[in-house]
Amino acid sequence: NELPTRENINYFSVDLSERENVSNFCDTIIEKYGGISIIVNNAGITEDNLFMRMTDNAWDKVFAINLDASMIICRKFIRGMIKNRWGRIINIASIYGREYGGSAPYMAAKAALIAATKHTAINLAKTGVTANCIAPGSIKHEKGSWEKFVNNNNEATVNNFIEKNLPMGDFGYPEAVGDTVSFLASENSKMILGTCLNVDGGQSNSLF
């Protein structure tokens, strides 16, 4: 297939915290293009606060974006994938959805995303459609939690975190996650089903 260029990529802005907006967006894509064959649910937010201080609105928003929107998108497009006998669902979870770390709603939402993906994968096993998760660790990205952590701590604290928790000696990088997405979206991944792949440089083995 022809590789995407700036000329044949379309962008849409959607408020993923509102279920109706997500559903309407999917309907628009189906009406305009007939459906899609690859889903990558990558949007996510966290709410850094103690569990006992967490507001209902903050909790709901984390679940809406990290879990609900992904499941709505999957449900909307799965029928077309099954009809075509081919499709790829790739949900971006987190190592904190598998072990302790991060805020309560973030951990719970990512854990639920992993569980829902596994369930979906088994249900789709004979259809030619696969569903898997990727669980990144601490990724170096200027708009992510990495930047917030670095900016809010002194150099000694950051270096101590790296030495204690990151066996490779540095934070991960977005390209590593992107390469894993590309593999799971390819025909070469057809035997991988209901898996959650850690892309964390061994962080999950050291942090927990």
User: Which residue in this structure is represented by tokens 């990205």?
Assistant: 141
pLDDT at residue number 82: 97
Successive 10-residue mean pLDDT values, the chain, 208 residues: 65 94 96 94 85 88 96 97 97 87 87 97 97 88 66 73 70 88 96 93 69
Task: Report the pLDDT value the prediction gives residue 52, as an integer from 0 to 100.
Answer: 81
Distance CA 10, CA 5 (A): 10
Q: Which of 33, 96, 100, 106 is catalytic?
A: 106
Q: Residue 129 phi/psi, 5° resolution?
A: -110, 130
Q: Residue 70: its pLDDT value, please?
A: 97
CB contact at 8 A, 73 and 41: yes
- Whether residue 138 contacts residue 97, with contact meaning beta carbons closer than 8 Å, is answered with no
Is 106 labeled as catalytic in the residue annotation?
yes
Q: What's the one-letter identity of residue 59? A: W
pTM of the model: 0.87
pLDDT of residue 54: 85
User: Can you say whether residue 63 is alpha, beta or left, with left for phi > 0 and alpha for psi between -120 and 50 degrees?
Assistant: alpha
Can you read off the two tokens belonging to residue 160? 């101590």
User: In this structure, are residues 102 and 46 in contact, taking their beta carbons and an 8 Å threshold?
Assistant: yes
CA atoms within 13 A on the CB side of 134: 27
Number of H helices, E strands in the chain: 8, 4
- Estimate to the nearest angstrom the gap between the alpha carbon of 144 and the chain centroid: 13
